[in-house]
Amino acid sequence: MPLFSMRIVWIQLCAVFLGLEISNVRGAEPSASEAAFFESKIRPVLAEACYKCHSAQSERVKGGLLLDTREGILKGGESGPAIVPGDPDKSRLIVALRYKDEQLQMPPKDPLPKEVVADFEQWVKMGAPDPRAEVKFARAPGAGTNHWAFQPVKARVVPAKIKNKKWVKAPIDAFILSDLEERRIDPAPPADKRTLLRRATFDLTGLPPTPEEISAFLADESPNAFETVVDRLLKSPAFGERWGRHWLDLARYSDSNGLELNTPFPNAWRYRDYVVASFNNDKPYDQFIREQLAGDLLPTTTIDDQHEKWIATGFLVLGPKAFNEPMREKLVADVVDEQIDVTTKAFLGLTVACARCHDHKFDPIPTRDYYALAGIFRSTTTLNENGRPVPGPTLQAWTERPLGTKEESEAVEKFNATLEKAQAEFDSAFNKGKDLPGGIDSKELPGIVVDNLQAEIIGEWSKSTYSTNFFVDKNYLQDGNSGKGQKKALFRPTIPKAGAYQVYLSYTPNFNRATNVPVRIFAGTNITTKFLNQREPPRENKAFTYLGLVDLPEGTNSVVEISNEGTKSGFVVVDAVQFIPLDKSESRNMMAMAPDATRKMRDTTYAGTDFYTMRDKVDEIRAKAPPPLPSAMAVREGSAQNARIAIRGDVERLADEVPRGFISVIDRRKDKAAAFKKESSGRLELADWIASPDNPLTARVFVNRAWQHLFGRAIVNTPDNFGLQGEAPSNPELLDYLATQFVDEGWSMKKLIRSIMLSSAYQMSAQQNPTAFAKDPDNKLVWRMDRRRLEAEAFRDAILAVSGRLDSVRGGPATFTNNPARLVMDGSMPIPDSARRSIYLPTLRNGLDDLFLVFDFPDPHAPAGKRHITSAATQALYVMNSPFVQNQSKAWAERLAAIPQLDDSARIKRAFLEAFAREPNESELMRSRAFLNDFNEAAATKEADPVARRKLAWQSFCQALIASAEFRYLN
């Protein structure tokens, strides 16, 4: 079995490189008789009496102790090692079995027979020989496969032995109450209606309830009043904006690439809108998964349906990419790695990307599994042809799909093919001229040529020959991307005869260039200014761009000035300017390359080709370009291939090829190699496998996330990691119940959310209970509702809601500044002064708005299923001093002032209602009135005008409400 032995070699290599601890606890292997002793006397007892609570299969591992592996016994649990080989008296396991220590007695109900205990004592004396330790590596193949999360979801019986039956509104409650009653904890009383409405409205829409909604709910005394509210909110389009945003965290959604080349993703928003719409339409979750991983491979009905499914695959394209990586192969491997990471974390709650360089250190995920998945993504095209940024406004280097009708798309494809062919012919001919210095000799150009060598240079420019593009004569100049506004180059021709001249300018394009280079033509008293984008290739023939036809006076009074003023967007280069008198120009007026110059090239290198004809053809084709189509970030099928293992992740050191496949520990298919067709990537198969009811993780992971968004704390409180390092579920029966119900109800996200919210558990108050707190301080068992902080988006949206400025426009492109290409060189960009919901602001990697930065918005470079919650001075500074909060406070105060016939108290009450969904209590009302009066008095020196002073007082009051903890917390 050569393949098998290769694998062993590979693992050993890996172990050597990584210094994996080799579990050689006991010098020698157990002898045959020792092994027999263990197998006959010890293992059966462990299995029967202990594994229920102390094995990877245990529903709940007690005391952190695992007895089903040798490592587990030696490592022990929370209280220390279970055995000390050779010393029964010091072995806690033996002490427990002996039943003499009152604090330590196992098994819990009755002691084991004396003979059995004696066997164990003898076994420990023997040095605890354990044939299960035959494996040479800490993580033997197979170790950890018993982990609870890798076992199928079990259908759970709703607990019936409940005392407080009245509390049980939904099966969920029975699961929770059963745990609480076991621990003798009383659930918190129900929340009052205002608190509940505020909670539900934020949870489902990310916005506060309006005063009208509050009165309607208070007035509705029917038993299903809350149900009515939940159904109303689930139908609101704001629901998709709220829950879609949760998903975007996992999809590491961003409107720019990030890393060191932070180019914008101008079409990312289509994926964002797709996600919002999917939640609003209650798209079945299994379908949602299939579309994001393999939408392009699913059957479609209409062209719109097709487009939606392409857009969905933007999920795979949105990752950050190291476009500057010099090694193409590494770039590809990194893109694949990122796709594996986001796919396995978001859908499966697994950290598979850990297995890129070595077998997963904690989970039974061998490197082979990683490369089995890598094959699928390698067979998928995510980067454009050369994986290098294409010069242009956005440096696009990823795959997009045009969103036209069939006819429109075909026209574009046909056009592209024709253009590419003609361009390639021209390029190959033209490129032969590169042996010339700079490719172009000024002496052989027609008209008057002023090269940078003759130009008048102001400020510090550097000579360069760095560019691989054509330039005139020996070199060109660059401004070092510094001293902006201080550098100029003046090209002053000697015009022999006044008249009309065509002016051409040559420069070497590159992606680091400025996009707005001012070029001024001084022709006598006439001045014209143009702006040049030097990232774009010159329009005429790879060297020259046409500036226009200009009347020039005789002599030296004409100047073409190129400056670097206002060119923060990048380097400015200058090379040469050419002036061709109109009457002398050829029929091809636009052609700056002279017959003389090209003749030489033609004579020497292009014998037999027609240079002009090729050029004309390109121009003609280009002139007939169909209008550009909208497009979406989307993947395509590539050439199907298997990946080879990269030793330690090094793409230059390749080992075995691995057939494409899934994650073996949870792969329950009978024939694991059969599913992949030779001609397809396997993405569709992967999507089907993940979106299957049989996958033990998919449904569990999603219901756990939904729970987290509604309770603050997830059942598995490491929502992106269900592996061995993840937290154990606080209520495994409940988790499985929810997962089963979710699948049974057609993977409906709305039904799941609804059923959770209609439980007593969700509707509890956040009231403190010292007894319960002492027993369960983290509220793992859910004896009350946790107080939760609003996310940055909900906080901002709530501020806009109370100020009355919230812009209700939904969807569409993220608002960039005029020139999105700025991002690339500037690295950051001010968020436009927009009042749209936060989900519609551009999410920029390395360029998050301050509010998002300080309020724990997750770094959008990587998927994040759980956000940090920190309290920091920077948050307080933002709320106290940022123009955003100040302006919105002002708007809110003005809106309150405009409500007719309210006195101060009524206005204060209204403000409290809008901010907190409740009225102030007596002391708060008095305190607020006192603040307004005192402030008004104290501000007299600052603001003499009593009207303005009063406005300032109200603005400060409104800001104080926004600043208060209650505004940004849910009770």
Strand 471-472 vs strand 400-402: parallel, antiparallel, or unpaired? unpaired
CB of 31 or CB of 768, closer to other proteins: 768
**What is the closest distance, in whole angstroms, from the C-beta atom of residue 856 to other proteins in the complex?**
5
Residue 143 touching other proteins (CB under 8 A)? no
**Rounded CA separation 431/405 (Å):** 37
Among positions 405, 787, 905, 948, the unique one binding other proteins when judged by CB under 8 A = 787
768 makes contact with other proteins (CB under 8 A): yes
DSSP string, 342-391: HHHHHHH---GGGGGSSS-SSSS--HHHHHHHHHHHHTEE-B-TTSSPPS
CA distance 736 to 400: 39
Q: Using the rule CB under 8 A, give the single segment among 373-381, 390-398, 900-908, 956-964 that binds other proteins.
A: 956-964
Q: Least distance from C-beta 957 to other proteins, angstroms?
A: 7
Q: Binder to other proteins among 650, 874, 899, 948 (CB under 8 A)?
A: 874
Which positions from 568 through 597 interact with other proteins, judged by CB under 8 A? 568
Judged by CB under 8 A, the chain residues 520 through 559 that form the site for other proteins are none
Strands 456-458 and 488-491: antiparallel
Burial of residue 416 (CB within 10 Å: 0-12, 13-18, 19+) is: middle
Per-position x/- string for 387-426, each x denoting binding to other proteins as judged by CB under 8 A, each - no binding: ----------------------------------------
Cα separation, 858 vs 860, whole angstroms: 6
Positions 288 through 327 that interact with other proteins (CB under 8 A): 320, 322, 324-326
CA-to-CA dists, residue 488 to 491, 494, 529, 572, angstroms: 10, 19, 14, 10
- Is the previous residue joined to 509 through a cis bond, with omega within 30 degrees of 0? no
Would you give the binding string for other proteins spanning residues 326-365, x where CB under 8 A is met? x-------x----------x-----x--x------xxx--
308: phi then psi, degrees, rounded to nearest 5? -60, -40
Q: How far is the CB of 872 from other proteins (least distance, A)?
A: 4
Q: Which of residues 591-630 bind other proteins (CB under 8 A)?
A: none
Q: What is the nearest approach in angstroms of other proteins to the Cβ of residue 271?
A: 20
User: Which residue from 382, 740, 763, 959 is in contact with other proteins, where contact means CB under 8 A?
Assistant: 959
> Half-sphere exposure of residue 323, counting CA atoms within 13 Å on the CB side?
28
Contact stretch for other proteins (CB under 8 A) within 457-465, 580-588, 626-634, 753-761: 457-465
**Which member of 25, 155, 500, 869 binds other proteins (CB under 8 A)?**
869
In the set 718, 817, 819, 834, which binds other proteins (CB under 8 A)? 718
Q: CA-CA distance, 782 to 777, in Å (whole number)?
A: 10
Cβ distance to other proteins smaller for residue 123 or 398: 398
Among 856, 895, 897, 951, binds other proteins (CB under 8 A): 856
> Near other proteins by CB under 8 A, which window of 180-188, 424-432, 807-815, 930-938?
930-938
Print the binding letters for residues 809-848 with other proteins: x by CB under 8 A, - otherwise. Answer: ----------------xxxx-----------------xxx
DSSP E strands: which ranges in 553-628?
A: 558-563, 573-574, 576-581
Options 113-121, 287-295, 432-440, 916-924: segment touching other proteins (CB under 8 A):
916-924
Q: Could you tell me the smallest distance in angstroms from the CB atom of residue 917 to other proteins?
A: 14
Q: Residue from 6, 218, 880, 906 that binds other proteins (CB under 8 A)?
A: 880
Three-state SS letters, 746-787: CCCHHHHHHHHHCCCCCCECCCCCHHHHHHCCCCCCCCCCCC
Contact flag: residue 184 with other proteins (CB under 8 A):
no
Q: What tokens were used for 504?
A: 């051409």
Instruction: Tell which one of 193, 530, 775, 910 touches other proteins (CB under 8 A).
Output: 775
Question: How many chain residues are in contact with other proteins, going by CB under 8 A?
Answer: 95
CA distance 444 to 421: 29
In terms of CB distance, is 197 or 601 closer to other proteins?
197
812-815, Cβ contacts within 8 angstroms, sequence gap of 24 or more? 812/269, 812/273, 812/840, 813/266, 813/269, 814/255, 814/268, 814/269, 814/272, 814/840, 814/841, 814/842, 814/843, 815/840, 815/841, 815/842
Residue placing its CB nearer to other proteins in the complex, 109 or 868 = 868
Looking only at the bridges linking them, the beta strands covering 499-506 and 517-523 are: unpaired
Applying the rule CB under 8 A, the residues between 478 and 517 that interact with other proteins are: 480-482
Per-residue CA distances from 522 to 503, 556, 620 (Å): 12, 11, 32
Q: CB–CB of 474/438 below 8 Å?
A: yes
Is residue 637 a contact partner of residue 296, using CB atoms and an 8 Å limit? yes
Residue 383 one-letter amino acid: L
Least CB distance to other proteins at residue 766 (A):
7
